Structure 1
Amino acid sequence: MSETPPSESPSTFADGIRLAVGTLSVFPVRPGVVDRRAGGIAMTVAPIVGGLFGAVAGVVLTLALWLGVTPLPASVLAVGTLALLTRGLHLDGLADLADGLGSGKPAEQALDIMKRSDIGPFGVVTLVFTLLIQVGTLSEATTAGVGPIALVTACVTGRLALTWACLAGIPSARPGGLGSMVAGTVRRGVALVMTVLVLAGTTALAFSSHGDTFTSWLPISSFTTFVPAYAGDGILLGHDMMSGFEGGGILSTSPALGGSGIPAWWGFPVAVLVGLLVAWALRRRAVRRLGGVTGDVLGALVETATAAALVACVIVA
């Protein structure tokens, strides 16, 4: 994640919005007043920025499917779009944190390793593993017809992890940089309100898009030709079995239930909570080892929470 020099002038809410967009995205935004108040606002509204990213990547995913691209390469395009929108900064933070924690060095030396421009073996393996998880789970969700919603949910979750990582009382690992500007700037009550809004929003998005079922709104012709038909409680219909059905996708003898046996539209709020839990565990580990958070830690939390939420979407939705 990028670093923005602080300013001693008082900031406004608009300054916080500009800081959120400029720090979390590739878009050039005219910087306003940058201080810890603006940093707190930026970390609070970060899930909204994540939702916009998810929507853009979801459009890319949907267009690819309409053009006849199969779910796996379409998912690669969507995940690549997210990396482009963020300049790959969160992925860079993930690799740096993996190298720092994996080194086994004391905090000061680990932080020095994280500041280097090169990527070590721990970082490479972590990057490859995380991207494979994101692409693979998004492909599974897309085959099930819920790829765009899962993508938006995961992107919002990744940025909501930033809100919780910047709670009051969580220190910065070193002076200067993004971590010192945003660490400890978000009040717990504000984070709880934002979390409730995210949970309500993902529930409403899933429910309004699918009603009582998870039958895909995407055209079945875009992906039924390569998936076999099989029998069972959840019946995935192949191309040869589609005559007489309109819309296609996954049909279930229990349409109100997801694959895990719970109401289907519950799956996405559960995925948000799973992503936050995994990010909390990583943040706790980083604070214990490094003494606080840094920009790299925050970037790693984004990618980790995003991947965990996508995995949860596939499991519970």
Structure 2
Amino acid sequence: MRLAVGTLTVVPSGDVTPVTRARAGWAMALAPVAALPVGLVVGAVAVAGHLFIAPALVTGTLAVGAAALATRAMHLDGLADTVDGLGAGWDRERALAVMRTGDVGPMGVTALVVVLLAQAVSVGALSTSVGGCLLAGLAVVLGRAACAGASVRGLPAARPDGLGALVASSVPPAVVAGWVVGAALLLALVGDLPGGPGPLAGPAGVLLGVLAVGWLLRRVLRVVGGVTGDTMGAAVEVATTVLLVALATGATS
């Protein structure tokens, strides 16, 4: 848990040594639990915007910005690098080289703009009720289950070094399935509270999120042959965005 918190958030957790493959796998499996502080920050900003009757888009923008600060924007960085790498062509070595650099190209910038805008608008739409604010925080927390999904057994690492090599194929499929089922049930229960989008929006978002992350991982495997740390960040942002959009759509329909 300390490794998961220290890796995925800005919350100090102390040094964890040695970082073994088993510990790294458990850290990915516990990613949603470690992300609870991030979800609380997003929910608190959304509630503040609701209480002070701030414009919905302003509330959503501040909440998404707070989430980026609480995670060092590491998942957004992974999203940009992954999209740039996938857009660099079908040459594996070139794609990996692009993903390794710290530069952000036009495709990465476009992905960041689309994802951040979709998240901000969705959180803003959910912030019209306290129940919606709770769902926004939950979506941010549960979207981190994509860390486990991108580390599930059977997915190889794209290169022999880095976070991807440490956690690739380290999480049992049963853990991933547990998070998927648990997320669907929890969002269905919370979504059915007064002011929520109903019991179906959450499970629908989970299903769409699984499909979106699965498509992303399939593309990454085809292009670079395995997962990297950037891949996991991209998976988190994709899953979180799909969840938020589904919940917001249900809340406004």
TM-score normalised by length of structure 1: 0.74
Shift of 1:50: 3.0
> 1: CA distance between counterparts of 2:95 and 2:143?
24
> 2: CA distance between counterparts of 1:314 and 1:68?
18
Map of 1:8 onto structure 2: none
Identical columns (%) = 40
Task: Name the structure where helix makes up a greater proportion of residues.
Answer: 2
- Give per-residue Cα distances to partners, 1:109-165, cap 9 Å, x unaligned: 111111111111111111111111111122222246653133123213321111111
Structure 1 residue 270 and structure 2 residue 204: aligned?
Answer: yes
TM-score normalised by length of structure 2: 0.92
Map of 1:316 onto structure 2: 250
Map of 1:28 onto structure 2: 12
Shift of 1:29: 1.9
Look up the equivalent residue of 1:19 and give its one-letter code: L
Which of 190, 202, 214 is matched with 2:195 structurally?
Answer: 214
Structure 1 residue 115 and structure 2 residue 100: aligned?
Answer: yes
Map 1:243-254; keep pairs closer than 5 Å: none
Map of 2:61 onto structure 1: 76
Map 1:1-317; keep pairs closer than 5 Å: 17-32=1-16, 33-143=18-128, 146-207=131-192, 210=193, 213-214=194-195, 258=197, 264-317=198-251
Is there any run of 5+ residues in structure 1 with no aligned partner, and where?
Answer: 1-16, 216-257, 259-263
- Equivalent pair of 1:270/1:312 in contact (CA under 8 Å): yes
> 1: CA distance between counterparts of 2:2 and 2:112?
29
- Equivalent pair of 2:9/2:35 in contact (CA under 8 Å): no
Look up the equivalent residue of 2:11 and give its one-letter code: F
Shift of 1:198: 2.5
- Equivalent pair of 1:149/1:206 in contact (CA under 8 Å): no
Shift of 1:105: 4.4
Shift of 1:27: 1.9
- Equivalent pair of 1:92/1:299 in contact (CA under 8 Å): yes
Q: Helix, strand or coil: the match of 1:265?
A: coil
Shift of 1:53: 1.5
Q: Helix, strand or coil: the match of 2:207?
A: helix
Q: Runs in 1 of length 4+ with deviation above 6 angstroms?
A: none
> 2: CA distance between counterparts of 1:161 and 1:151?
17
**Which deviates the most, 27-36 or 94-103?**
27-36
Larger Rg: 1
Aligned length: 250
Is there any run of 5+ residues in structure 2 with no aligned partner, and where?
Answer: none
- Equivalent pair of 1:162/1:301 in contact (CA under 8 Å): yes
Considering only aligned residues, what root-mean-square deviation do their CA atoms show, in Å? 1.8
